Structure 1
Amino acid sequence: MVLFALQITAELENLTNLQPQGGCDDPEFTYLFKLKCQSCGEPTQKETALSLSESVPLPVGKGTTNLIQKCKFCGREGTVTMMPGRGQPLTEELSEAGKFAPLMVFECRGYEPADYVFGGGWKVQSLAGTTFDDVDLSEEEFTEYDEKGECPVMISKPSSTFVVLKN
Structure 2
Amino acid sequence: MREITLQLKAMLENVTDLRPVGGHGSASRVQKCKLCALENSIEILSSTIKSYNSEDNEKFKTIVEFECRGLEPIDFQPQAGFAAKGVESGTVFSDINLQEKDWTDYDEKAQESVEIFEVRALTFLHAASQA
- Flag whether TM exceeds 0.5 (same fold): yes
Q: 1:115 aligns with which of 64, 72, 75?
A: 75
1:70 shift after superposition: 4.4
Q: So what's the TM-score if we normalise by structure 2?
A: 0.81
Please identify runs of 4+ aligned residues in structure 1 that moved more than 3 A. Answer: none
- Give yes or no for contact 2:107–2:114 (8 Å, CA) kept in 1: yes
- Give yes or no for contact 1:117–1:138 (8 Å, CA) kept in 2: yes
CA RMSD of aligned residues (A): 2.1
String of CA shifts for 1:97-122, please: whole Å, max 9, x gaps: x2223222111122211111111121
Cα distance change, pair 71–12 in 1 and its aligned pair in 2 (3 A) = farther
Q: 1:139 aligns with which of 73, 78, 100?
A: 100
Q: In structure 1, how many angstroms separate the alpha carbons of the residues matched to 2:74 and 2:63?
A: 15
Q: Which runs of 5+ in 2 are unaligned?
A: none
Q: In structure 1, how many angstroms separate the alpha carbons of the residues matched to 2:9 and 2:93?
A: 18
Q: Which runs of 5+ in 1 are unaligned?
A: 29-51, 55-65
- Give yes or no for contact 2:76–2:122 (8 Å, CA) kept in 1: yes
Q: 2:23 aligns with which of 20, 27, 52?
A: 27
Q: In structure 2, how many angstroms separate the alpha carbons of the residues matched to 1:87 and 1:103?
A: 5
String of CA shifts for 1:3-23, please: whole Å, max 9, x gaps: 0011222111111110123xx
* Structure-2 residue corresponding to 1:160: 122
1:1-167 matches, cutoff 5 A:
1-21=1-21, 26-27=22-23, 52-54=25-27, 66-70=28-32, 75=35, 77=38, 78-95=40-57, 98-128=58-88, 129-158=90-119, 159-166=121-128
Q: Percent identity?
A: 34
String of CA shifts for 1:15-41, please: whole Å, max 9, x gaps: 1110123xxxx436xxxxxxxxxxxxx
Alignment length (residue pairs): 125
Letter in 2 for 1:27: G
